[in-house]
Every structure is written in C-alpha cells, then in structure tokens.
Structure 1
Amino acid sequence: MFNALRPRVSSIIETNNSPETIMQKICDLLKSEVPHYDWVGFYFKNGDKQELNLGPYAGAPTDHTTIPFGKGICGQVAESNENFVVPDVKAQDNYIACSITVKAEIVVPLFVNGENIGQIDIDSNTPDPFTQEDERFLEFVNEEVAKIL
C-alpha cells in the first residue's frame, strides 16, 4: 500500500499549487487511502513561540488548534525531534484526547534544513495499527513536504 502511495505523494508535491493546498491534498489522500488513518494533519511551530498551530488536515474538526510544546504527543515531538508512536492512547499520561474514538496516534517531525518546523500527526480508531512501515512512509511524506516549505 505505502509503495503505491509514494509516487502519488510525489506527484502532488510537484504541482504548482500553494504549500497549503499541497498539504491538504496529501492529508486527503492519506486519510482516504490508508484504512487505519482516521485523522491526518500537519502542525507547525508558531514563529518564536513555544507552541504549534494546526495547519491543513483531513478528518473531524478538532479544538486543538494550538498545542504548547511539551503537551500531548505533538508537543512532546516538538521538543524531542523524534518520532512518537502511541499504540494505546489510554496508556499515555501526557495525551490530549481529540476524540473518544481515537485508540492510537503517530507523530513524525518535519525538518527543513535540519530544523524541526512542524510535524505530521495521525490518529487511528484502530488499536495498535502503526508499524515501522508507517514511520518510514510518514518520514518520506515529510521529506517531500519539506521541499515546498
């Protein structure tokens, strides 16, 4: 599945659309094509502030449009600069619930010129669905997105 999606992500990147439109199309593609991706979105560092702001996303609306560094999975990735895979969100003390249906989450940082400027965040209503294959694919997605930022 991910091997088939890679060229589709690359072709979206190569369009002459705005970065926001490109990222929205990627969110829509991943949510529609990956069965265990129930919410797909990008968060970005808010200038010099120690917080993330929600960018393009696909899925149910969320109240979490601003996330302080260190809070929740996204806020922790903003500080650690490392992927964070959560097989069971109920087992996480520092978790911000977006929906009662969410069972698992994966967050992968997005680097531009070596700086963590944001991340892709995936929520899943399926318990423990994420593998190393998901991590490698989302790293690829972020590398592609970094080319347009």
Structure 2
Amino acid sequence: MLDNLRSKVISIIDQDNTVVEKLQAICDLLKENVAYYDWVGFYFKNGEKDELKLGPYSGEPTDHTIIPFGKGICGQVAVSNQNFVVPDVKAQDNYIACSITVKAEIVVPLFVNGKNVGQIDIDSNTPDPFTRSDERFLEFINAEVAKIL
C-alpha cells in the first residue's frame, strides 16, 4: 500500500504550488491513506536556534509547536540524525505526549546536502504499527521533499 503512494507523493512534489502547500498535501495524503498514521507533520530547525518548529501537519492540533533539541522523540532525532521508531510511547522516558490516544511514533530526519534540516513525525493510536517499510517510505518522502527545500 505504501508503494502505491510513492507516485502520488512525486506528483505532489511536481505540482506548481508553494513548498508549504506541497508539504501540507503530503501530510493530508498520508493521514487519509494510511490507517495507522493518525497525525502526520513536519518539523524544521528554527533558524540558528537549537530547536524545532512545527511546519505543515495533518491531524489534531498540538501544543508542541516548538521542541528543544534533545527533548522528546523529535528533539532526540534532531541530535542523533537517526530514524527513531517507538513501538510503545509509554516505554520511553524522554517522550513528550501530544495526545493521550497516541501509542506509537516514528520520526525520520530530513537531510538537505547532508545537513539535518528537519523531520517527518508520525503518531499512531495503534500499538507497534511501524515496520521497515514505513521507515523506507518516509525516507523516500524526505528525499523527495529535500529536492524542493
């Protein structure tokens, strides 16, 4: 199913829209088409500050519009430059709860010219839903997004 969305992501990237509109369309596409993607959003490095700022997202509003590097799953990925798959958020000491319904999270860093500029963050209300296929798919999305940043 994820493979079927790859061509749709490419067509969104190729549209004559702003970057923000493209990122919003990707978030909406993923949330609407992957049953266990309950919140989908992009965070980006906030200028020269060691923090992330929320960009386009699809799902319930969040209070976490700014996340310091090192805090929560997103903040840890900003420092580690590594994918972070969390099968059970309750088992994580350094987890920032966005919603009591969230059971699992996956965060994949977004690189432009080898530099970590942001990430895609997915919350799921389903326990342990993420596989290697999700990681590869989100890496693909970030590689496509990097072309327009």
> For the superposition of Structure 1 and Structure 2, which TM-score range results when normalised by the shorter chain?
over 0.9
> Map of 1:32-71 to 2, 5 A cutoff?
32-71=32-71
- Aligned partners of 1:46, 1:96: CA distance in 2, in Å? 19
- Aligned partners of 1:74, 1:118: CA distance in 2, in Å? 9
Normalised to the residue count of structure 2, the TM-score between the two structures is 1.00
What residue in structure 2 maps to residue 74 of structure 1? 74
What residue in structure 2 maps to residue 7 of structure 1? 7
Q: CA deviation at 1:16?
A: 1.1
- Aligned partners of 2:16, 2:115: CA distance in 1, in Å? 25
Unaligned 5+ runs, structure 2: none
What residue identity is the alignment partner of 2:131? T
Unaligned 5+ runs, structure 1: none
Normalised to the residue count of structure 1, the TM-score between the two structures is 1.00
Q: What secondary structure is seen at the aligned counterpart in 2 of 1:36?
A: coil
Q: What secondary structure is seen at the aligned counterpart in 1 of 2:106?
A: strand
Question: Aligned pairs, how many?
Answer: 149
What residue in structure 2 maps to residue 115 of structure 1? 115
Question: Once the two structures are aligned, what percentage of the paired residues are identical?
Answer: 77
Q: CA deviation at 1:117?
A: 0.1
- Aligned partners of 1:145, 1:22: CA distance in 2, in Å? 9
Q: What secondary structure is seen at the aligned counterpart in 1 of 2:6?
A: helix
